[in-house]
A and B are shown apart, each in its own frame.
Chain A
Amino acid sequence: MPHVLRGAFFLLKLEAMSNIITTHFDQALFRKYLKTKYIGQSFIFLEETASTNSYIKSLSERETPHGLICLADNQTAGRGQHNRIWLSEPGKNLTFSLVLKPPQSNKLQLLLQAMGLAVKLSVLHNCDCKCTIKWPNDVLYEEKKIAGILTESTFLGNELERFIMGVGINVNNKEIPLNIKENADSLINITQKVQSRELLLAEICNSIASLYELWLVDSEELVHKINNAYAEIGKWVHLSEEGKQIPVKYKFLGLDFDGYPLFLTDDSFIKKYRQQNIRFWL
């Protein structure tokens, strides 16, 4: 009971003092809204860590059960792609990692896309904010990044040990550093409201839990859902292969059922990328 009361009080406080953003992550409130069997049921809260993915990797496989969420209130050296630093102010954003231990290592790339979709759906549900997912690992609002995902896994020989998705979401940080202001935004700026990090994280857990179940039983249905969430679907896009932009535009056709991106080329071929390092944009 005290937990519930504390949660309610917390919400009231947010409403009343919308300019004051708490730095306290209320785990009881988070749990109240969590409806999953595994995901988020094990929870590690860290006041501060360099990167939640690195923290998880420093623990043994046994210490990190399936569904574990590790949340850091202050992630000091969050990593993005290519070791870019993901900046985050303490107590304002969501920076967390989720550990999954799937029974198979096929189509793992679909899980990364599913996490993007889970963030998109949760942001729509909780904040009424319509985002799109951007292949391979971002969530955008009007072409500005609000979330990024960094995914790592470890295999012991051929056996998948654990699959770790690190997620960073700009929630309540009003100040976006000048150098990324053109490309990034936060939910507080978009919605003009303080957003509850607890409720958003709970919703993301609920959402990724059902998408993970879908991945296990019907990954084709999952692919349809993911494809509908891309801003670029069915559009002609610029594309770079191994860092080199190609001189023509291709039409993005979405992912195939294995999770590989398909394109219609300018001369009407269908091209699938499986290994090449590509990027594409509108």
Chain B
Amino acid sequence: MDLKLIKNLISMISDSDVNEVSIEEGDFKIKVKKQSDNQGVREQVYYAPSPSAAPAPAPQPVAEPAAPAEPAKAAAPAADTSGLTIKSPIVGTFYSKPSPESDPFVSVGQTVKKGDVLCIVEAMKIMNEIESEHDGKITKVLVQDAQPVEFDQPLFIIEPA
């Protein structure tokens, strides 16, 4: 298997609905996993060393880092049409409170006004405050404190006032 084949494989998968493919060919093994925007999967991309160089150690399948539990993955909020969805504008880590000791910015049942800070998404040491676009009431918090989030991942559901 050469690099071109791997490249083709990756573009094939990214164009398809398939999320994950594992292929074994003799002692060469490759696993390609799609990082869908809506999944709270931490990205760690590994590029395999050229496999043509001797039947050396087979590239390891992507090692899943010890990511915290990801309950939000299941909470596909598309089903929830009763409110407005606040999505993450960037890739990063979700923080529900300004510092570990403080209270969360918002919690379920709380009324918020346009411009109120809902959470922080930290990305590459930049603290991004996400403010509400709407007046309303928080009906759902879809991610947990310190959880990694992807671009466009739903964070809150707000019932408009």
Say whether B130 contacts A276, CB under 8 Å. Answer: no
Known pairs A105-B89, A157-B131; A269 contacts B124 (CB<8 A): no
Say whether B126 contacts A276, CB under 8 Å. Answer: no
Known pairs A105-B90, A275-B92; A156 contacts B126 (CB<8 A): no
List residues of B (82-118) whose CB comes within 8 Å of A's CBs: 86-87, 89-93, 99, 114-115, 117
Query: Interface code A139-178, partner B: CB below 8 Å = 1, 0 otherwise?
Result: 0000000000001111111111100000000000000000
Beta-carbon nearest neighbor of B127 in chain A:
A152
Instruction: Point out the residues of chain B lying under 8 angstroms from A159, CB to CB.
Output: 89
A271 at the interface (CB under 8 A from B): yes
In angstroms, Cα B124 to Cα A275, docked, is 7
Distance between B62 CB and nearest chain A CB, rounded to angstroms: 10
Instruction: Point out the residues of chain B lying under 8 angstroms from A274, CB to CB.
Output: 42-44, 91
Known pairs A270-B45, A273-B44; A155 contacts B89 (CB<8 A): yes
A112 at the interface (CB under 8 A from B): yes
Range of interface residues on chain A? 20 to 34
List residues of A (156-208) whose CB comes within 8 Å of B's CBs: 156-161
Known pairs A156-B133, A157-B89, A157-B133; A136 contacts B44 (CB<8 A): no
Say whether B128 contacts A153, CB under 8 Å. Answer: yes
B125 at the interface (CB under 8 A from A): yes
Say whether B47 contacts A269, CB under 8 Å. Answer: yes
Instruction: Point out the residues of chain B lying under 8 angstroms from A105, CB to CB.
Output: 89-90
In angstroms, Cα B119 to Cα A14, docked, is 47
Say whether A108 contacts B93, CB under 8 Å. Answer: no
A268 at the interface (CB under 8 A from B): yes
Say whether A154 contacts B124, CB under 8 Å. Answer: no
Beta-carbon nearest neighbor of A241 in chain B:
B65
A245 at the interface (CB under 8 A from B): no
Say whether B115 contacts A153, CB under 8 Å. Answer: no
A260 at the interface (CB under 8 A from B): yes
Distance between B14 CB and nearest chain A CB, rounded to angstroms: 17
Query: Interface code A260-282, partner B: CB below 8 Å = 1, 0 otherwise?
Result: 10000000111111111100000
Say whether A112 contacts B125, CB under 8 Å. Answer: yes
A259 at the interface (CB under 8 A from B): yes
A219 at the interface (CB under 8 A from B): no
Say whether A270 contacts B46, CB under 8 Å. Answer: yes
Say whether A272 contacts B44, CB under 8 Å. Answer: yes
Beta-carbon nearest neighbor of B87 in chain A:
A158
A83 at the interface (CB under 8 A from B): yes
In angstroms, Cα B128 to Cα A153, docked, is 5
Say whether A155 contacts B123, CB under 8 Å. Answer: no
Say whether B126 contacts A269, CB under 8 Å. Answer: no
Instruction: Point out the residues of chain B lying under 8 angstroms from A81, CB to CB.
Output: 125
Query: Interface code A105-126, partner B: CB below 8 Å = 1, 0 otherwise?
Result: 1001100100000000000000
Say whether A158 contacts B89, CB under 8 Å. Answer: yes
In angstroms, Cα B70 to Cα A36, docked, is 47
Say whether A275 contacts B42, CB under 8 Å. Answer: yes
Instruction: Point out the residues of chain A lying under 8 angstroms from B132, CB to CB.
Output: 157
B71 at the interface (CB under 8 A from A): no
B129 at the interface (CB under 8 A from A): yes
Beta-carbon nearest neighbor of A277 in chain B:
B93
Instruction: Point out the residues of chain B lying under 8 angstroms from A272, CB to CB.
Output: 43-45
Instruction: Point out the residues of chain B lying under 8 angstroms from A277, CB to CB.
Output: 93, 122
A137 at the interface (CB under 8 A from B): yes
Instruction: Point out the residues of chain A lying under 8 angstroms from B131, CB to CB.
Output: 154-157, 161
Known pairs A154-B131, A160-B89; A269 contacts B125 (CB<8 A): no
Known pairs A112-B124, A275-B42; A153 contacts B129 (CB<8 A): yes
* B contact residues vs A (CB 8 Å cutoff): 42-49, 59, 65, 86-87, 89-93, 99, 114-115, 117, 122-133, 148
Pick the 4 closest A-B CB pairs, nearest first: A157-B133, A109-B124, A136-B125, A275-B148
